[in-house]
Structure 1
Amino acid sequence: MPPPTPSTEELFRPPVLRPFSGTLDRSLFSKTIPLAAATVSSNQNIARYRRELEKAKEILCVDRINAIAAHPDPVLASQGKKCLLLDPSAKPTQPETWGAVLKGGVEKDELGVIPYELKLDYSYYGFLDVITSILPEELHDEIPSGFNAAGHVAHLNLREPYWPYKALIGEILVDKNAHIRTVINKVDNVGTESEFRTFAYEVLAGPDDMDVEVRENDCAFHFDYSKVYWNSKLEKEHTRLIGMFKPGEVVCDVMAGIGPFAVPAGKKGVFVWANDMNPESHKYLTEAIKRNKVGQYVRPFNSDGRKFIHEAADSVHAAATAGEHAVIQKKARRHRQDNGATEKELPPPEKVPIPPTIAHFVMNLPASAYTFVHHYRGIYAGKEDLFVPHTSTKLPLVHVHCFALKSDDEVPLLDICERLTNELGVKMVPGDADNYGEASIHNVRDVAPAKRMFCATFRLPPEVAFAPRT
């Protein structure tokens, strides 16, 4: 009795290389898969027969393999002859294994059937294919395939069971990601060992080169990844909040980092007072402001965020009182003269004044930002006339990033509101941020099996904003 025919999945599965010897031998991933191929008498019929064979599920359908291949005969291949790779169930010398479309094409002398050897090597397999063929089966459930990328650097946070394979993991990641040259592994907890959210790391593969360039929200950033905080997985959150800011408003970014909120907002015509306590972040923030030409809108500061909340409110009010503004030069208009000639007419520039109040505060320090919110007390003491009901201006929205339990019920929302209540001295409940005493809580991302990052947005309560300063 002949052995059962392997399934397509089994045929294309990488070889099992366990137990692992300690050295990545890429040649061991080479294999030859015997197939049948349909030769096409006229290349004009290739597209038609491909469609018909696909519809009948008689053609090879495997990721990253093109079913149209050069003829295996080098002479015919040099003449442009091609063939269609067939599903592994079809055998070149066994017509009983052929499907109806293939048989019909052969009967019409439009198709022929020949053996074909499909050769695969290490370059064909993806990261997960390679690593699962090497790692012990008990480690397959949580293979570290995801990483935080900063330019050419891939940043991993490997769990202890994977430490014996860390160099191998780094080597394969470099192989399988064209933009990655360096792979590092974090060896402490961000925000625990460093108040600047930097971390100690070890290089798993590639050079120890942490000088990176990244682009996000149509802005360019350059920085030393070992000296500042950057998380590419927060791009969606950066974009979400920036979308809430309106041109001509003022945003205070209390923990701005190198400017992933501030710089794109400035490009949008939003005034931003951007602060970070880390001198290195301030340096690269200043560089990003200049590089992206948003200096009219974004001002960098290097201060403790607790102090900066009041400092920013006072500074913005002083800038507005002094008549500070941005200048927008409008595009030239073409003006037709009496003699028929045209000349460019440059309209006068538009002045965009800095408003006297801040519309949004951003606090992207999830480990501890909520502990800063009591510093809003008295921020606009004595300036009640700047806000509703005396004007149409509402008190600022505060966006506080924080960590909480990962749960699909209200437990994390209630926990976050309880923390805000304790800090503000005003009762906060989940709800609509436009209503005083309510917080809109957005699920940002999961950061661990039982831990989730949220953003709590609330309108600063009047009893906090207008309280006497202490």
Structure 2
Amino acid sequence: MADASLAAKSEVMSLFRPPIVRSASATLNRALFSKTIPIAAARIANPKNISRFRKLLEKSEELAKLERITNIQLDPDPALAQRGGKCMLLKPEIKPEGTNPTTWSAVLQEAVKAEEMRVIPYNLTLDYNYWTYHDIMTSLLPEDAQEEIPVGFAIVGHVAHLNLRDEYIPYKHVIAEVLIDKNPTIRTVINKVDDVGTHSEYRTFGYEVLAGPDDMNVELSEENCIFKFDYSKVYWNSRLQTEHKRLVDSFNPGEVVCDVMAGVGPFAIPAGKKGVFVWANDLNPDSYAAMVEAINRNKVRHFVRPFNEDGHTFIHHAADSILNLASTHKNTISIPAKRVFNAKASDPVPPPTILTIPQTISHFVMNLPATAIDFLGSFNGLYHGHEQLFEPHTSTKLPMVHVHCFSTKSEDNVREGIEICERISEKLGYVVKPGDKELVIHEVRDVAPKKRMFCASFRIPSEVAFRERRAR
């Protein structure tokens, strides 16, 4: 009995699967996905009774439960439908009048007997628009290519960015077509054709357009900030949104953050919005231009200052320029007060808010995982000659560094932690090891089967910060 029940259930489920449309030429014919399923429907004599019978049929478990389709439809009789007649779709196991009334519950039998309802045949037509992306791919792709149907892709504005494995390359155009069909916000689909950084030193990559216009000028929102840029010329990774938020949440309003490899500003702009002073730098002129646009668009120019320099040079430049602001009494900014809504013209203008920029940096962000650790040597001598500004002379601590990097992938990340500390130690000229106070190695995300991205956070040792500066 149990086997028969499972077989019947499987047969019913198969009714709602798309037609198998294998395509040797890897082309998409949407018309082939139309499928008509003969079921039964409950025609209600008095439309006022629909709500009552719907509850009764839900309770008797005879009402159809369909994804993306409401079970109340217009009557299949055009004349009745024109007058507003409706019917309720029933499960495939329920048969219409004149076939097998033993499939009916007492509710159906009594309602039909009382002429309040009829159980009629109903042809349920499902077409290409009904099926999901996964449904279509399962139907289209050969069985030997279905072990892992491509579902992971990054969305950057209106662009879907694929990184297809070799076995899916013959089907790349049909995959892209279906993605656009099933995702209304996507207009362009691209596939990466080389690794990030291969195309240029600015972390851009070569790509091919699989569907839609070759339009890489995107606009997107992250953490209530708007960014607009040419995706073919700058680095952006939507999968880092959680990491952006994690670090920005750790910054306090009024602190100074130095973003050494800022890109278009995914750390800098949200931090500026919460009142953090950010010195934000990127070597790529296009990233710098997009960051300037984002600063103005998001109204954070009082807090975020953009730079277009080499990261090694910028680390010392940022520290020195902030010290210089204090020594020249240029470390205050005046932020005009917002006028009260519906304020009268004669009302006095509220005074501006005066903020003071601290003379030392609280955090350095280094989000260039392929090579950021190589820049750590530039922290040598960062605050040489300014020991009196920090503990134990004051309550101010030396800056925290948040450096992103890649390493191997294991279950416990123990060997990765050791390896990352060894690389940091080599560049700092100071031994850093797992278990050190204030050292945290955070797992960010997997980037490949044997590759993982990490963020190592540590406070700059005084032995490093107060050394004499040395040329790189």
* TM-score scaled by length of structure 1: 0.92
1:213-252 map, 5 Å: 213-252=219-258
Contact 1:196–1:277 (8 Å) recurs in 2 = yes
C-alpha separation between the residues in 2 aligned to 1:392 and 1:106? Answer: 84
Gap change, CA 1:56 and 1:360, over 3 Å in 2: farther
Partner of 1:301: 307
- Partner-residue secondary structure (3-state), 1:162: helix
C-alpha separation between the residues in 2 aligned to 1:391 and 1:8? Answer: 74
1:328 counterpart (328, 335, 346): 335
Deviations 1:38-69 (A, max 9, x none): 22334344334334433443222222121121
Query: How large is the Cα RMSD of the aligned pairs?
Result: 2.3
C-alpha separation between the residues in 1 aligned to 2:144 and 2:129? Answer: 26
Partner of 1:400: 403
Partner of 2:3: none
1:18 paired with 2:22, answer yes
1:420 paired with 2:427, answer no
The 10-residue stretch of structure 1 (109-118 or 97-106) with the greater mean CA deviation from structure 2: 97-106
C-alpha separation between the residues in 1 aligned to 2:47 and 2:342? Answer: 58
The 10-residue stretch of structure 1 (128-137 or 181-190) with the greater mean CA deviation from structure 2: 128-137
1:64 paired with 2:73, answer no
**Distance apart, 1:101 and its partner CA:** 4.3
**Distance apart, 1:360 and its partner CA:** 0.9
Deviations 1:405-460 (A, max 9, x none): 222212323322232222223333345xxx64x42122222212222222221122
**Distance apart, 1:200 and its partner CA:** 0.9
- Partner-residue secondary structure (3-state), 1:214: strand
1:157 paired with 2:146, answer no
Letter in 2 for 1:455: C
**Distance apart, 1:79 and its partner CA:** 2.4
> Percent identity of the aligned residues?
58
Contact 1:335–1:343 (8 Å) recurs in 2 = no
* TM-score scaled by length of structure 2: 0.91
Letter in 1 for 2:455: C
1:459 paired with 2:459, answer yes
Gap change, CA 1:392 and 1:56, over 3 Å in 2: farther
C-alpha separation between the residues in 2 aligned to 1:451 and 1:55? Answer: 52
1:195-214 map, 5 Å: 195-214=201-220
1:358 counterpart (342, 356, 361): 361
Partner of 1:43: 47
Letter in 2 for 1:115: P
C-alpha separation between the residues in 2 aligned to 1:164 and 1:88? Answer: 38
Partner of 1:148: 154
Letter in 1 for 2:370: A
- Partner-residue secondary structure (3-state), 1:102: helix
Letter in 2 for 1:27: A
Partner of 1:33: 37
Contact 1:445–1:453 (8 Å) recurs in 2 = yes
Gap change, CA 1:375 and 1:86, over 3 Å in 2: same
Partner of 2:4: none
Partner of 2:440: 440
2:84 counterpart (63, 80, 83): 80
**Distance apart, 1:155 and its partner CA:** 0.9
C-alpha separation between the residues in 2 aligned to 1:403 and 1:100? Answer: 65
Contact 1:198–1:229 (8 Å) recurs in 2 = yes
Gaps of 5+ in 1: none
Gap change, CA 1:465 and 1:48, over 3 Å in 2: farther
2:373 counterpart (370, 375, 382): 370
1:180 counterpart (186, 199, 208): 186
Gap change, CA 1:381 and 1:88, over 3 Å in 2: same
1:349 paired with 2:352, answer yes
Letter in 1 for 2:350: P
1:248-327 map, 5 Å: 248-322=254-328, 323-327=330-334
- Partner-residue secondary structure (3-state), 1:447: strand
Partner of 1:112: 118
**Distance apart, 1:356 and its partner CA:** 0.4
Deviations 1:232-281 (A, max 9, x none): 11112111111111111111111000111111111111111110011111
